């Protein structure tokens, strides 16, 4: 069955972006970057893959789902199709992308469930926190790039999720000299 993989950078206190949605506090250089490029190249936006000369077809995921606020920085940079190597879906109730390569869903839970029935590769949950909160009970795997910083306020890892005991079990943890820790989990019982 297709997995929904929430792959995201976070602070030590579970913040994935500043209150204005920017990501400036997270490390984008250091020894952890080789792992991101080698193991998670599918999840890099097209312009980053191009800059790194990554041309290999995706092997881990074939679809990306993101919230409108995650999609907006690409639009602001003039990029209407940020993940051209993947099937792209934006969760939005009111806005529509101006690209035939990007689908829209007003019901991300139903969309993820339908994608699972189709079969195929994994589904990358690119964010943001509100969408992750909506999809929390659908997430099969977490890949957290934990940055050595405490932000205090901002976009939470799982925004708006109701209180419930949702267990994940660790499958792999790697610490890097940069201070970043890559922590991977799967839903308990899976």
Structure confidence at residue 52 (pLDDT): 93
**For 6-21, b where at least 16 C-beta lie within 10 A, e where not — what string?**
bbbbbbeebbbbeeeb
Query: How buried is residue 38: exposed, middle or buried, by Cβ count under 10 Å (0-12/13-18/19+)?
Result: exposed
Kind and range of the H or E element at 34? helix 33-39
Q: What domains does the chain contain, in order, with CATH numbers?
A: 4-187 (3.40.430.10)
Q: Cβ neighbours of residue 105 under 8 Å, at least 6 residues apart?
A: 65, 89, 90, 91, 92, 111
| Cβ–Cβ under 8 Å, residues 85 and 58 | yes
Structure confidence at residue 94 (pLDDT): 86
- pTM for the model: 0.94
Q: What φ, ψ does residue 183 adopt, rounded to 5°? A: -120, 125
pLDDT digits (tens, 9 = 90+) for 79-116: 999 999 999 999 998 887 778 899 999 999 999 999 99
Q: How far apart are CA 70 and CA 21, in angstroms?
A: 8
**For 101-130, b where at least 16 C-beta lie within 10 A, e where not — what string?**
ebebbeebeebbeebbeeeebbbbbbbbbb
The Cβ of residue 46 has, within 10 Å, a number of other Cβ atoms equal to: 17
CB-side exposure of 141: number of CA atoms within 13 Å? 16
pLDDT digits (tens, 9 = 90+) for 24-63: 778 888 999 999 999 999 999 999 999 999 988 899 999 9
Distance of CA 16 to the CA centre of its chain: 10
Structure confidence at residue 190 (pLDDT): 65
Please check the confidence at residue 3 and state whether its pLDDT lies above 90. Answer: yes
Distance of CA 178 to the CA centre of its chain: 21
């Amino acid at each position: 069955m297709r997995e929904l993989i929430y792959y995201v950078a976070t602070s030590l206190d579970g913040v994935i972006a500043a209150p204005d949605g920017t990501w400036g506090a997270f490390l984008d250089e250091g020894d952890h970057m080789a792992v991101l490029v080698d193991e998670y190249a599918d999840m890099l936006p097209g312009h980053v893959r191009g800059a790194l000369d990554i041309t290999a077809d995706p092997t881990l995921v074939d679809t990306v789902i993101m919230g409108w606020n995650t999609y907006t920085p690409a639009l602001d940079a003039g990029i209407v199709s940020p993940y051209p190597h993947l099937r792209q879906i934006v969760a939005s109730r009111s806005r529509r992308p101006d690209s035939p390569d990007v689908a829209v869903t007003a019901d991300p839970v139903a969309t993820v469930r339908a994608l699972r029935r189709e079969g195929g590769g994994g589904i990358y949950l690119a964010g943001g926190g509100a969408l992750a909160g909506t999809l929390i009970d659908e997430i099969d795997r977490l890949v957290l790039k934990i940055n050595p910083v405490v932000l205090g306020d901002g976009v939470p890892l799982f925004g708006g999720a109701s209180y419930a005991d949702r267990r994940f079990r660790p499958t792999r943890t790697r610490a890097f000299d940069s201070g970043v820790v890559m922590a991977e989990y799967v839903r308990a019982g899976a």
